[in-house]
Amino acid sequence: MAELIAHLRGIDERALVLRYVQPGLVGLIDGTLSTLAPIFAAALLSGSHAALFVGLATAVGAGISMAFSEGLSDTGEETGRGTAIARGAVTGVMTTIGGVFHSLPFIIGDVHTALIVAGAVVACELTIISLIRKRFLDVALRMSFLQVAFGGALIVAAGVTLGSA
């Protein structure tokens, strides 16, 4: 771990963004957004217990998928984005993290309470994503939040619509 921190301190910001921040951000956004519809649909159809396990399975599956997708899409040699293994690992771990946190409220047995808590967790996740985009990609905070919130709202609407069918 100390070697990783020393390596990150010695890297210029552009390389840090290309090799770690951007793949991590892609994973975090994907994990946060792509897991919303299955979790909310499962919660409405089957309750908290099902939503918890659907969310965890979706987060882990998406993490593995995104790790392979990122790792196999670019060797990094042509683009200077770092090694495929490192980018794949960062993307996969961050995708899993993005999906796990709003799955955990479904430990709560009452589905309506769990949905409210999960909604609050998603709001925190979207805020963190927006702050990262502001810091490293120079995107205005308001615009960043509106963009990720719009995507999240579309996905939640899909999950609610399918879960209420």
Domains in the chain: boundaries: 2-163
Query: Residues 121, 125, 126, 127: what is their CA dihedral angle, to the nearest 10 degrees?
Result: 100
**Which residues of the chain carry a pLDDT beneath 70?**
1-9
- What is residue 53's predicted lDDT score, i.e. its pLDDT? 97
- What is residue 7's predicted lDDT score, i.e. its pLDDT? 62
Token pair belonging to 108? 């709560």
Cα–Cα distances in Å, from 150 out to 24, 45, 60, 131? 20, 24, 24, 16
Under a CB-based contact definition with an 8 Å cutoff, are residues 38 and 62 in contact? Answer: no
Alpha-helical runs (H) found in the chain = 2-10, 13-16, 22-34, 36-46, 48-73, 84-100, 111-137, 141-163
Per-residue pLDDT of 60-82, as tens digits, reads 999 999 999 998 987 877 777 88
pTM of the model: 0.85
Cα–Cα distances in Å, from 11 out to 104, 120, 156? 35, 35, 38
